[in-house]
Homo-oligomer: A and B are copies of this chain.
């Protein structure tokens, strides 16, 4: 009787083939396990080690992954000269220091969103990445979903036309946090998607919210963005909603898109509804415009877990094969908008300029 393989610690396991990048994960809390799992299943990467302050979490990590390094001291990872990159999934307030330390240790970095808790920090991180010539990517996961990729194609092809409005709702019963309000928690998802799709600079931000549980932490907020065009963007984020809603409606002069991430299969609907509006303004008045004026298409979307797609992209960015989709610059812009929203929130909803 022969055994194919009986010892998991055989050299074949722990030493990655030369073409695989060697990754470490820092932070193994809520999101870290998902990142670690996707590194482990990425064909171009190998997961070498995990660092977390909690020994209990490391024990959990051990049962899921055959690892060389499990440590409560992240420096043990950073000092490993064979490590190519680290994924930072620690609390946002730690991002600045940890990411800069990793970059200066020569590691490429993929960091959990938001990039930082202030625009100043975010800009500094990007400067360090450039100085060290290392890749710095932000884990804006939704940019790697089939739905957002398909929407981007419509925008790139000019099929949406002039964008009239961008309306986003992301609400559910969620995790309450001490340090961050619902805007910091949820809005980065939608702000990053919007910036990616539209590519227009935000000029003014107003935000209004309310705190029903903790007087200092808003659990519901509405954010409105203004641009150089009549485009109006609006975001509803809410931790206290009874049902999960994750819907974005994009009204364009040519097509309208409805992106419903809570749908299992039909996440994106494309409405042939805008064209006639542009034709003649007078014709519309006193005319009852039908609910839907054309066909609706539910396009086939690329399958696959977004994190897996993102991990492959990160590998390609490190190797210089692709430009980063969610690089440091996009990360800065997201933080800049969120920061402006915070200022408006503290100022009773008054519109504030986005500082360049």
Contacts and interface: CB of A to CB of B under 8 A. Distances in A.
Interface stretch (A112-120, A286-294, A325-333): A286-294
Interface stretch (A62-70, A103-111, A126-134, A311-319): A62-70
Contacts of A258: 242-243
Contacts of A262: 264
B242 A251 contact: yes
A157 interface: no
Nearest to A30: B288
Interface of A: 1-9, 13, 30, 40-41, 55, 58, 62-73, 75-76, 79, 164-165, 167, 171-178, 206, 208-214, 220, 222, 224, 230-232, 234, 236, 238-244, 249, 251, 253, 256, 258, 262, 264-266, 269, 271, 273, 277, 281, 284-300, 303, 348-351
Nearest to A239: B289
A251 to B, nearest CB: 5
Contact of A349 (B13, B58, B351): B351
Contacts of A299: 295
Interface centre among A230, A239, A249 (most CB of B within 10 A): A249
Contacts of A211: 230
A3 B69 contact: yes
Contacts of A256: 240-242
Given A208-B232, A242-B273, A265 B281 contact: no
Contacts of A244: 265, 291
B295 A240 contact: no
Contacts of A220: 164-165, 232, 251
A66 to B, nearest CB: 4
B292 A70 contact: no
Given A73-B2, A213-B277, A289 B40 contact: no
Contacts of A172: 291
Contacts of A177: 285-286
Given A265-B292, A300-B293, A349 B242 contact: no
A236 B53 CA distance: 45
Contacts of A231: 210
14 contacts: A1-B73, A2-B72, A3-B71, A5-B70, A30-B288, A165-B210, A167-B236, A172-B291, A173-B290, A220-B232, A222-B232, A240-B256, A243-B269, A295-B300
Given A30-B288, A175-B287, A176-B287, 7 more contacts: A4-B55, A6-B69, A165-B238, A165-B240, A171-B249, A173-B292, A174-B288
Contacts of A175: 286-289
Given A164-B212, A296-B266, A222 B249 contact: no
Nearest to A72: B4
Contacts of A65: 8, 66
A242 to B, nearest CB: 4
